[in-house]
Amino acid sequence: MRRLVPDRPTLLALGSGLLLAFSFPRLDLASVAWFALAPLFVSMFGRPFRSGFVAGAGFFAVVLYWLNIVMTTYGQMHPLFSLAAYLILVCYLALFFAVTTWAACRLRERLGLSIVVTLPVFWVALEFLRSFLLSGFPWATLGYSQQSHLALVQSADLFGVYGISFLLILSNATLARCWQWYAGRTAGSRPFPLAALTVALLLFAANAGYGFYRLGQGVDVREETLTLGLIQGNIDQSVKWDPTNQEATVDTYRRLSEEAVRSGSAELLIWPESATPFYFQDGGPLAALVREVPQGGAEGLIFGSPAYEVVNRRYHYLNSAFLLSPQGTVLGRSDKIHLVPFGEYVPLKPFLPFIDKLVVGIGDFSPGTVSPLPMNGSEIGVLVCFEGIFPELARDYVAKGSDLLVNITNDAWFGRSSAPYQHLAMTRFRAIENRVWVARAANTGISALIAPSGRIVAQTPIFETRYLTGSVGLGASPTLYTRFGDLLPILLLPFCCFWLVKTRKPSSAALDPEDLLP
């Protein structure tokens, strides 16, 4: 019976994972992330892989609980199958925690390397791998936990979100070493880890100092501005694709757009992802109604709509954004690049014929390319749906001359969960990394205007039918991140490989007695 009771290291690992989850929205206890993993790093040495896995499972199980809402409510999946799919994903993501703690302990045992050195390196490298492995799922990258501490995330314009993750793990590992010294100080352990603590404090101070410096530079100010009208139609997902509801949907967006132009002087109107649940490119009465919208006084309209292309007699479906001129003519189309697996396409479909998409709609989508939309001499980069969580896509748009980033999305799938808040938190980093304004139009919210400092200038509540108007600046300021991208994790990956190869050779490095403490 006693074997069924988790041991102390397992409980500490689970506690670390759960505590870390509290640092993300909606609880948003950001400061907790600076010490949440210290219990895991203190107790992981007996069973490092299991400890990391337990912590990761606890973390992702809490942060991603909303996936069950998506799969059961909108995917019409049986609760048991939904739970199975959810647990499989949680276990997969927990492996990244597990490999990190296993590798750090192995390097300590075989090479005598301190966890203060190895944990930040492996953590960031594996977070980077998670962002593109198996199509990529960088949701809840550790650095995003600090989105509400603006001064601490300004360095994202240097190293991206991974730089913040590095500092967070360095802090946790240093605290763990200090605790190990305190607990083992009477057992002849090594001297106090002064060097590690000094480096951690200096880097934290430098990061905070840089943040306050950048915030004081007026990074949000631009000479050229544009007044936007973000239209939040709040269309119920259960009727969104119902043909009998299409006209009512268009009427809702038209009415809100007229109010935004009339009361807020909106120059550019932005509707969410798939705002027109029909093929706009085919024309017809509903498409004609959409074309009339910018003719009511706006300088343009960006809206989401499904589209298609015919190549060699085969249809390629696209999740697109169209830009209309004041005369209602199409100025450009931007297609979604990073598709949602099992939502917009089925990976390895020939080998998985029994699996269908979760989203009821048109068919399997095809990826597009980076194509900014031209408007009055400026370029607008459009990130569709969860493309806002992929740093490289926003960077590519800015590198191609985008003066404004627009994120159109439909977060109705998430219900009244923490997911819309997590989604917005990650999108804020795209503004900081590239020092560019970001406008976010969401079907059910959260719609928001985000300044280059990451500050949310204005936002809407969720599940309310309304519009949001506000002025944004045009133009992106040059940043180290825009120029070099995710250079930090790319440089750290070879270190991980080199260290692991070296551990294959027998080593006489002695294990630090501090690392044996439970």
Which residues participate in catalysis according to the annotation? 273, 336, 385
- Backbone dihedral angles phi then psi of residue 375, each to the nearest 5 degrees: -150, 110
Give residue 485's Cα distance to chain centre.
Answer: 16
Which residue do the tokens 């191609």 mark?
A: 400
Instruction: Using DSSP, state whether 188 is helix, strand or coil.
Output: coil
Alpha-carbon gap, residue 274 to 350, rounded angstroms:
28
What the block records as the tokens of 119 is 């944990």
Q: How far is CA 228 from CA 406, 410, 457, in A?
A: 11, 19, 12
Is residue 454 within 8 Å of 428, Cβ to Cβ? yes
- Residue by residue, DSSP assigns 251-280 as HHHHHHHHHHHHHH--SEEE--TT-S-S-G
What the block records as the tokens of 511 is 């294990």
Q: How far is CA 84 from CA 14, 90, 231, 437, in A?
A: 20, 10, 37, 40
23-32 contacts at long range (C-beta below 8 A, 24 or more positions apart): 23/145, 24/63, 24/140, 24/144, 24/145, 24/418, 24/422, 24/425, 25/147, 25/418, 25/421, 25/422, 25/424, 25/425, 26/418, 26/421, 28/148, 28/421, 30/145, 30/146, 30/147, 30/148, 30/149, 31/149
Residue 85's identity, in one-letter code, is A
71, exposed or middle or buried, with CB in 10 Å at 0-12, 13-18, 19+?
A: buried
